Amino acid sequence: MSWIDSLFGPAGLMPHGVCFLMRSDLIALHVIADGLIAFAYFSIPVTLLHFARKRKDIPFKHVLALFAAFILLCGMTHIFGIWTIWRPVYYLEGVVKIVTAIVSVVTAIVLIPLVPQALSMRSHSELEAINRKLEAEVQRRADAELQLRRTVNKLTQSNAELERFAYIASHDLQAPLRTIGSFTGLLGKRYSESLDDGGREYLEFIQHGVTDMRTLINDLLELSRVNSAEPKIEAVDTGDVVEHVVEQLHADIESSGATVEFGELPTVDADARSLQQVFLNLIGNGMKFQPEGQAPHVRVRAWRVGDGWQFSVQDNGIGMLPEDRDQIFLVFKRLHTADEYPGTGIGLSLVQKLVQKRGGEIRVDSAPGQGSTFVFDIPDSLPEESTLATPGQASPEAVLV
């Protein structure tokens, strides 16, 4: 007899039912019990398999597989419990038991080193606590962001108000100043004869004061306009702009014997009025800050750098110390007294704002007695919308009806 025959009920062995004396109630009891256990054992791996397929992220999948096999095999041993009632397949049953034993021992061994790993895993309550902490952190950041946005809004608003105030104040200052200037002028024209030298000198002081204040107001108006007025970007021939500025400075050029030199200048996308202001201030400064008796020479050039144009306005003037180079762009910052060189200290600050608004930068190369070269750039691309005038805000001009 082959060993296979001995697996399926070797001769001489009694089926297990004999022990039960083939009593039907006893057999039924065992069959039902073993059947239910087997059914439950078979269903557990199916459930586990289903769970593992749905939750792809579960850890220790190989242990889960071992465990499933172990339970499946346990189920099998109960099937054999039923089978052996009628057939004495004790060898086969023994083999299944051995396999079950091996699988259970392996599972038991594999399980041991997993304990510390499983312990180090976050428990559900721990995860909840972390989650709560994260939520609190998210809330805290949202609050901070809201606060920041509120502050920015407040600042933007107060900035706009300040600009409007500056504009209205300077605009309204002009009316009384016009009256003072006009009547001082009339007084000088009509009654100058009846005044003595002292009186005429006083009148002159008043008129100088009026002129200075008018310049200051105009400069302030320009400065407040930089942020509020919407730039009108168009193709502007910088050659035309410089030519126009030279015409504007005609009187000063004549009186000082200045030369303003410029060759081919490019056409760029910019706000013509702003560009005009930039060149007017830079060329005007180049002519103004000169040593006594020297004929000013101002040279305007342009060249390509990267993706934009770079312009330079170079003069043969008095120049400045290296430590003053950044200072000069501060509003109201002046390096000289009004007697030496008149001015409001607004010009270069205005120029810098205008250049930056167009997305460029300005710097100066200078040394005392060596003249100054102002270099600024105009990139081909326009700056982001945010650096332009804030939309939805009325320009001061619109407010002043």
Partner 1 sequence: MAQAHILLVEDNPADVRLTQEILRETSLDFELAVARDGEQAMAMLRRQGAHQDATVPDLVLLDLNLPRKDGREVLAEVKQDPSLRSIPIIVLSTSKAESDVRTCYDLHANCYLTKPVDLNHFAEMVQMIERFWFNLALLPPKSRSEIAAE
Q: Which residue has the tokens 């597989």?
A: 65
358 membership: H or E segment, kind and range: none
**Residue whose CB is less far from partner 1, 207 or 310:** 207
- Closest contact distance (angstroms) between CB of 162 and partner 1 is 20
- Closest contact distance (angstroms) between CB of 149 and partner 1 is 32
**Residue whose CB is less far from partner 1, 217 or 300:** 217
- Closest contact distance (angstroms) between CB of 178 and partner 1 is 5
**Residue whose CB is less far from partner 1, 119 or 398:** 398
C-alpha 390/C-alpha 357 separation (Å) is 12
CB 8 within 8 A of CB 92: yes
Cβ neighbours of residue 254 closer than 8 Å, sequence gap 6 or more = none
**Residue whose CB is less far from partner 1, 121 or 186:** 186
Range list of β-strands (E), 77-125: none
Cβ neighbours of residue 259 closer than 8 Å, sequence gap 6 or more = 253, 295, 296, 297, 298
Count helices and strands in the chain by DSSP H and E runs: 11, 7
- Closest contact distance (angstroms) between CB of 382 and partner 1 is 23
Burial label for 120, CB within 10 Å (0-12, 13-18, 19+), is: exposed
**Residue whose CB is less far from partner 1, 101 or 394:** 394
**Residue whose CB is less far from partner 1, 179 or 370:** 179
C-alpha angle 299-301-305 in degrees, rounded to nearest 5: 150
List contacts with partner 1 (CB under 8 A): 171, 174-175, 177-179, 181-183, 185-186, 214, 397-398, 400-401
CB 59 within 8 A of CB 121: yes
- Closest contact distance (angstroms) between CB of 168 and partner 1 is 12
- Closest contact distance (angstroms) between CB of 268 and partner 1 is 24
Burial 331-367 (b: 16+ CB within 10 A, else e): beebeeeeeeeebbbbbbbbbbbbbbbbbbebebebe
- Closest contact distance (angstroms) between CB of 245 and partner 1 is 20
Residue 298, strand partner residues: 260, 315
**In the Cβ-directed half-sphere of 103, how many Cα atoms lie within 13 Å?**
20
**Residue whose CB is less far from partner 1, 43 or 211:** 211
